[in-house]
Structure 1
Amino acid sequence: MVKLIGAALILFAGTMIGFMQASRFASRPRQIRQLGYALQRLETEIGYGYTPLPEAIGRCAAHLSEPAAALLRGVNQRLSEGNELTFKECWEQSVTAIWPGTAMKAAEQSALIRLGATLGISDREDQIKHLRLAMQQLKAEEDTARDDQARYEKMWKSLGVLIAALVVILIV
Structure 2
Amino acid sequence: MLKILGAALVLLAATLAGWLQARQFANRPNHIRRLILALKRLETEIMYGFTPLPDAFRRIGEQSGEPIKAVFTTAADNMSSPNRYTAQESLQLAAEKVWKYTAMKAPEQEVIRQLSYTLGTSDRKDQLGHLATAVRQLESEESTAREEQARYEKMYRSLGLLCGAFIVILFY
TM-score (norm 1): 0.97
Q: 1:59 and 1:84 mapped to 2: Cα distance?
A: 18
Which residue in the other structure is 1:46 paired with?
46
Identity %: 49
Which residue in the other structure is 2:104 paired with?
104
Shift of the alpha carbon at 1:68? 1.2
Which residue in the other structure is 1:66 paired with?
66
Structure 1 stretches of 4+ with a deviation exceeding 3 A read none
Aligned pairs for 1:1-172 (under 5 A) are 1-172=1-172
Shift of the alpha carbon at 1:151? 0.2
Unaligned runs of 5+ in 2: none
Shift of the alpha carbon at 1:84? 4.2
1:111-159 per-residue CA deviation (whole Å, 9 max, x = no partner) reads 0000011000011111111111000000000000000000000000000
Q: 2:40 and 2:76 mapped to 1: Cα distance?
A: 17
55-64 vs 91-100, which moves further: 55-64
Q: 1:100 and 1:83 mapped to 2: Cα distance?
A: 22
Shift of the alpha carbon at 1:85? 2.2
Q: 1:55 and 1:86 mapped to 2: Cα distance?
A: 14
Amino acid aligned to 2:169: I
The answer to whether the 8 Å contact 2:53/2:87 transfers is no
Shift of the alpha carbon at 1:51? 1.5
Q: 1:84 and 1:68 mapped to 2: Cα distance?
A: 21
Amino acid aligned to 1:144: T
Unaligned runs of 5+ in 1: none
Amino acid aligned to 1:152: Y
TM-score (norm 2): 0.97
Q: 2:37 and 2:77 mapped to 1: Cα distance?
A: 21
